[in-house]
């Protein structure tokens, strides 16, 4: 762990990161006419996985059938490739900056199994909300915000409000 | 003009490669900014580390400035970009639920991918949880489907809602964001001081430092002034007008208009209105008095001004792909102008009624007691007035207004004939079915071809 090659480099300045994020988002709109996103692709992966084991069930649930029912191919969608790219980009940056290794990030008073359980629960809650809101922090708040969509701003404030309201009661998780 | 029309290439390797590359950029930027670290994301909500807010808001304002500047410079057509439609209440409730998931799980969907990609096991668990959440939503959405589609405002933008120019809203947004950044910096100093952790402690591999200002002095000033200047330039140049948009489309659509490729025969409109798989909307660009004298049943009267009203146009744009719009004037002048404006704003499947009401009444005449040709008046070349003189205003209460409605009223003449072996027998002499006007049959060239909307599907919804 003392090997200097493995010592992680610091994160970039938040405003530089934000500016780069804005440029990527702009290029996405400029080239494809579409913003960034993650949750649509996660849903496609979920439907695709379910269709592999229980295709009849996917056919019967209207919401899923629209994505992967019959001979529809849930993975043949631009959002899935963006998801792959996001994964790849994260890994590349992680490797380049010495942050690519297995670990569990958690608050000081949280055990690893508890952190995993909370991460799973949080992921489930978050994705449920993201589908309800028709987009996540990237697809709805970031992309819609840049295009000045009214709903996206309302959504963004709701996300922050929800998190800030619950932050104090669950402060032991992170402090 | 951007965005590039990628639809014809959908499914090809290059098409997917573009999205893959955009994703790579997205993932790398998130990782570099520290969004793969759940502690850093969570610290946002204890006011110690405002990275999430700073990165997100910087991303939003930089993209907003670049997008609307590119649009002002006529490099990017915003009408062909995806703007998340507003479903206000489901969006807010979904957002609140996401906030809960955020503080419990420490990620949002995009950042959890990045965390998982660098082998952060909590990120992996979050992604798995996300798959479960998506499944749960798919299984339960039918129980609140109606609510989920409620409070829909379509493509509603802040500038559209406020009736302001997009550039002014961008300026306001940038100024507000800069104010938020100042507050964020102060908050980090107050709540984050002395909370920096040694990376060696508890085996953490990336140090979290709080309380250090992210941007100071000249760099901060250059950043702020640069963004405000670009936003100001965007507002000064202004977004393309409807006339500009028509200018872009004129090389392609001008000839179609001149060759009468979109002027449909009245009988084609009747035919369309009988097609149950289509939604045919008739927009009459006529003044109220003329409209009251006579109009097509089920039509909507609009003024030329309405075709430039963002609220009205947003409603029209929100209709389904299977909607055909037919613009009707007294004759053709106002209708053609309205057609240009609607098409310029991205409405598809828009047609003009050939000859307007004059053409219509030629095909489906009114009773001469109601109206007849105005012999005293010879119309000028560009005349757009009512073609007939009316004795009474009939609105749409005459068969000419709805010849598409099939009302099976037989008109039967018969006589009774004495037959040798069968006694008196009824023998029909003539049988005609009245279907509105019985003006029935015209030869015409079908011109309507249903097009898909150009606005891309997209976003996370």
Cα-based distances in Å from B403 to B56, B271, B322, B412, B437: 57, 10, 22, 20, 6
Residue B29 has its nearest CB partner, among A21, A125, A139, at A21
Residue A133 has its nearest CB partner, among B40, B61, B94, at B94
Please indicate whether, in this complex, the C-beta atoms of B204 and A17 are within 8 angstroms of each other.
no
Domains in chain B: ranges and CATH: 7-199+206-241 (no CATH), 243-401 (3.40.250.10), 404-436 (no CATH)
Whole-number pLDDT of residue B419:
81
**Nearest CA to CA, how far is B233 from chain A (Å)?**
17
**Residue A4 CB contacts under 8 Å (≥ 6 apart), including other chains:** none
Please indicate whether, in this complex, the C-beta atoms of A138 and B110 are within 8 angstroms of each other.
yes
Please say if the pLDDT value at position B452 is more than 90. no
Flag whether residue A174 sits within 8 Å of chain B, measured between CB atoms: yes
Q: Is residue A18 part of a domain?
A: no
Please say if the pLDDT value at position B436 is more than 70. no
Beta bridge partners of B152: B87
Residue B19 has its nearest CB partner, among A85, A154, A160, at A85
Using CB atoms within 10 Å of the CB of residue B333, give its burial: 0 to 12 exposed, 13 to 18 middle, 19+ buried: middle
Please indicate whether, in this complex, the C-beta atoms of A155 and B50 are within 8 angstroms of each other.
no
Interaxial angle between packed helices A150-167 and B88-105, expressed in degrees from 0 to 180 and rounded to the nearest 10: 40
Mean pLDDT of all residues in B296-313:
90
Using CB atoms within 10 Å of the CB of residue B437, give its burial: 0 to 12 exposed, 13 to 18 middle, 19+ buried: middle
Q: Is residue A148 part of a domain?
A: yes
- Is the reported ipTM for this assembly greater than 0.90? yes
Please say if the pLDDT value at position B440 is more than 70. no
Whole-number pLDDT of residue B275:
86
Q: Is residue A168 part of a domain?
A: yes
Over residues B52-83, the pLDDT tens digits come to 889 999 999 999 999 999 999 989 988 888 88
Whole-number pLDDT of residue A102:
86
Please indicate whether, in this complex, the C-beta atoms of B33 and A14 are within 8 angstroms of each other.
yes
Please say if the pLDDT value at position B411 is more than 70. no
- How many A×B Cβ pairs under 8 Å? 601
Mean pLDDT of all residues in B344-371:
88
In the structure encoding, which two tokens stand for residue A59, read together?
């056919």
Q: How many separate domains does chain A show?
A: 1
Nearest CA in chain B to A163: B99
Mean pLDDT of all residues in B141-156:
89
Whole-number pLDDT of residue A19:
94
Give the integer Cα–Cα distance in Å for B92 and B98.
Answer: 10
Q: List chain B residues with CB under 8 Å of A119.
A: 38, 105-107, 112, 122-123, 125-126, 129
pLDDT band at residue A41 using 50, 70 and 90 as cut-offs: confident
Q: Is residue A114 part of a domain?
A: yes
Please say if the pLDDT value at position A155 is more than 90. yes
Please indicate whether, in this complex, the C-beta atoms of B133 and A123 are within 8 angstroms of each other.
yes
**Nearest CA to CA, how far is A171 from chain B (Å)?**
8
Mean pLDDT of all residues in B307-315:
86
Whole-number pLDDT of residue A135:
86
Whole-number pLDDT of residue A174:
83
- A142: containing domain: 102-175
Please say if the pLDDT value at position A10 is more than 50. yes
In the structure encoding, which two tokens stand for residue B231, read together?
């936003």
Please say if the pLDDT value at position B210 is more than 80. no
Please indicate whether, in this complex, the C-beta atoms of A18 and B133 are within 8 angstroms of each other.
no
Check if the beta carbon of residue B56 is closer than 8 Å to that of residue A61: no
Per the listing, tokens 């649930």 go with A61
Most A CBs within 10 Å, among B110, B173, B234, to test the A interface: B110
**Nearest CA to CA, how far is A93 from chain B (Å)?**
5
Nearest CA in chain A to B195: A175
Average pLDDT over chain A reads 87
Beta bridge partners of B352: B263, B327
Per mean pLDDT, which range of B197-201, B277-281, B350-354, B456-460 is the poorest? Answer: B197-201
In the structure encoding, which two tokens stand for residue B98, read together?
């996401």
Please say if the pLDDT value at position B38 is more than 50. yes
Flag whether residue A14 sits within 8 Å of chain B, measured between CB atoms: yes
Whole-number pLDDT of residue B198:
46
pLDDT band at residue B193 using 50, 70 and 90 as cut-offs: low
Q: Which helix (H) or strand (E) holds A114?
A: helix A112-132
Nearest CA in chain B to A92: B28
Please indicate whether, in this complex, the C-beta atoms of B3 and A43 are within 8 angstroms of each other.
no
Q: List chain B residues with CB under 8 Å of A125.
A: 97-98, 100-101, 104-105, 129, 133
In the structure encoding, which two tokens stand for residue B195, read together?
């909370």
Residue B110 has its nearest CB partner, among A11, A19, A136, at A136
Give the integer Cα–Cα distance in Å for A141 and A156.
Answer: 5
Instruction: Indicate if the alpha-carbon torsion angle B42, B48, B53, B55 is positive or negative.
Output: negative
Most A CBs within 10 Å, among B87, B138, B166, B187, to test the A interface: B138
Q: Is residue A149 part of a domain?
A: yes
Nearest CA in chain B to A87: B117
Flag whether residue A24 sits within 8 Å of chain B, measured between CB atoms: yes
Q: Is residue A37 part of a domain?
A: no
Whole-number pLDDT of residue A92:
94
Using CB atoms within 10 Å of the CB of residue A61, give its burial: 0 to 12 exposed, 13 to 18 middle, 19+ buried: buried
Please say if the pLDDT value at position A153 is more than 90. yes
Please indicate whether, in this complex, the C-beta atoms of A148 and B207 are within 8 angstroms of each other.
no
Please indicate whether, in this complex, the C-beta atoms of B2 and A50 are within 8 angstroms of each other.
no
Beta bridge partners of B412: B431
Flag whether residue A155 sits within 8 Å of chain B, measured between CB atoms: yes
Please indicate whether, in this complex, the C-beta atoms of A14 and B51 are within 8 angstroms of each other.
yes
Q: List chain B residues with CB under 8 Å of A118.
A: 104-106
Nearest CA in chain A to B170: A148
Q: Is residue A83 part of a domain?
A: no
Q: List chain A residues with CB under 8 Å of B129.
A: 119-127
Please indicate whether, in this complex, the C-beta atoms of B4 and A31 are within 8 angstroms of each other.
yes
Mean pLDDT of all residues in B264-281:
90
Q: Is residue A121 part of a domain?
A: yes
Please indicate whether, in this complex, the C-beta atoms of B27 and A90 are within 8 angstroms of each other.
yes
pLDDT band at residue B147 using 50, 70 and 90 as cut-offs: very high
In A, residues 108-137, which contact B (CB 8 Å cutoff)? 108, 112, 115-137
Buried b (16+ CB within 10 A) or exposed e, B353-381: bbbbbbbbbebbebeeebbeeeeeeeeee
Please state the pTM of the whole predicted model: 0.82
Mean pLDDT of all residues in B124-141:
92
Please say if the pLDDT value at position B214 is more than 70. no
Please say if the pLDDT value at position B237 is more than 50. yes
Buried b (16+ CB within 10 A) or exposed e, B54-80: bbbbbbbbbbbbbbbbbbbeeebbbbb
Check if the beta carbon of residue A145 is closer than 8 Å to that of residue A153: yes
Nearest CA in chain A to B167: A148
Please indicate whether, in this complex, the C-beta atoms of B84 and A115 are within 8 angstroms of each other.
no
Please say if the pLDDT value at position B352 is more than 50. yes
Residue closest to A156 by CA, chosen among B30, B146, B158, B239: B158
The one-character DSSP state at B83 is -
The one-character DSSP state at B305 is G
Whole-number pLDDT of residue B293:
92
Please say if the pLDDT value at position B299 is more than 60. yes
Flag whether residue A54 sits within 8 Å of chain B, measured between CB atoms: no
Using CB atoms within 10 Å of the CB of residue A29, give its burial: 0 to 12 exposed, 13 to 18 middle, 19+ buried: buried
Mean pLDDT of all residues in A72-85:
88
Per mean pLDDT, which range of A93-102, B138-147, B426-435 is the poorest? Answer: B426-435
């Amino acid at each position: 762990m003392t090997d200097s090659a493995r010592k992680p480099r610091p994160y970039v300045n938040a405003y530089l990161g934000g500016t780069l994020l804005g440029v990527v988002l702009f290029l996405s709109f400029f080239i494809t006419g579409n913003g960034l996103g993650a949750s649509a692709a996660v849903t496609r992966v979920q439907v695709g996985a379910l269709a592999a084991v229980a295709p009849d069930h996917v056919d019967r649930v209207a919401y899923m059938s629209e994505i992967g029912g019959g001979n529809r191919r849930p993975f043949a969608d631009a959002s899935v490739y963006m998801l792959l790219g996001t994964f790849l980009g994260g890994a590349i940056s992680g490797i380049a900056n010495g942050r690519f290794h297995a670990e569990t990030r958690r608050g000081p008073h949280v055990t690893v199994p508890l952190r995993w359980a909370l991460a799973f629960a949080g992921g489930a809650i978050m994705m449920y909300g993201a589908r309800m809101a028709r987009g996540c922090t990237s697809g709805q708040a970031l992309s819609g915000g840049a295009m000045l969509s009214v709903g996206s701003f309302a959504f963004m404030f709701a996300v922050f409000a929800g998190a800030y309201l619950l932050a104090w009661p669950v402060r032991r998780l992170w402090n | 003009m951007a965005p590039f029309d990628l639809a014809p290439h959908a499914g090809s390797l290059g098409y997917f490669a573009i999205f893959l590359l955009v994703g790579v950029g997205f993932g790398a930027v998130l990782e570099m900014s520290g969004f793969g670290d759940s502690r850093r994301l969570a610290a946002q909500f204890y006011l110690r580390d405002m990275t999430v807010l700073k990165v997100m808001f910087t991303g939003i304002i930089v993209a907003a400035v670049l997008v609307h500047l590119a649009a002002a410079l006529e490099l990017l057509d915003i009408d062909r970009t995806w703007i998340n439609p507003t479903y206000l209440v489901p969006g807010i409730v979904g957002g609140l639920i996401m906030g809960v998931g955020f503080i419990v799980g420490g990620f949002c969907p995009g950042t959890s991918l990045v965390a998982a990609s660098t082998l952060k096991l909590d990120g992996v668990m979050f992604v798995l949880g996300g798959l479960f959440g998506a499944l749960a939503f798919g299984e339960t959405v039918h129980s609140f489907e109606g609510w989920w589609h409620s409070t829909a405002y379509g493509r509603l933008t802040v500038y559209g809602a406020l009736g302001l120019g997009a550039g002014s809203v961008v300026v306001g947004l940038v100024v507000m964001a800069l104010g938020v950044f100042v507050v964020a910096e102060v908050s980090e100093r107050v709540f984050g001081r002395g909370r920096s952790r040694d990376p060696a402690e508890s085996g953490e591999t990336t140090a979290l430092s709080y309380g250090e200002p992210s941007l100071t002095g000249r760099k901060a000033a250059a950043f702020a002034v640069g963004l405000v200047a670009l936003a100001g330039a965007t507002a000064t140049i202004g977004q393309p007008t409807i006339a500009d948009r028509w200018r872009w489309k004129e090389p392609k659509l001008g000839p179609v208009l001149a060759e009468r490729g979109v002027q449909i025969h009245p009988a084609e409109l009747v035919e369309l209105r009988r097609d149950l798989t289509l939604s045919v909307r008739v927009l009459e660009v006529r003044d109220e008095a003329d409209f009251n004298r006579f109009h097509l049943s089920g039509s909507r009267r609009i003024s030329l001004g309405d075709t430039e009203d963002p609220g009205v146009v947003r409603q029209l744009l929100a209709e389904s792909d299977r909607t055909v719009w037919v613009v009707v004037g007294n004759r053709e002048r106002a209708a053609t102008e309205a057609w240009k404006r609607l098409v310029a704003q991205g409405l598809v499947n828009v047609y003009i009624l050939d000859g307007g009401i004059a053409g219509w009444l030629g095909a489906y005449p009114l009773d001469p007691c109601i109206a007849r040709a105005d012999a005293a008046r010879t119309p000028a070349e560009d005349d757009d007035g009512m073609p007939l003189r009316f004795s009474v205003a009939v609105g749409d209460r005459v068969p000419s207004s709805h010849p598409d409605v099939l009302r099976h009223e037989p008109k039967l003449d018969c006589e009774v004939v004495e037959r040798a072996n069968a006694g008196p027998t009824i023998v029909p002499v003539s049988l005609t079915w009245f279907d509105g006007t019985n003006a029935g049959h015209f030869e015409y060239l079908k011109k309507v071809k249903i097009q898909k909307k150009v606005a891309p599907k997209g976003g996370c919804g």
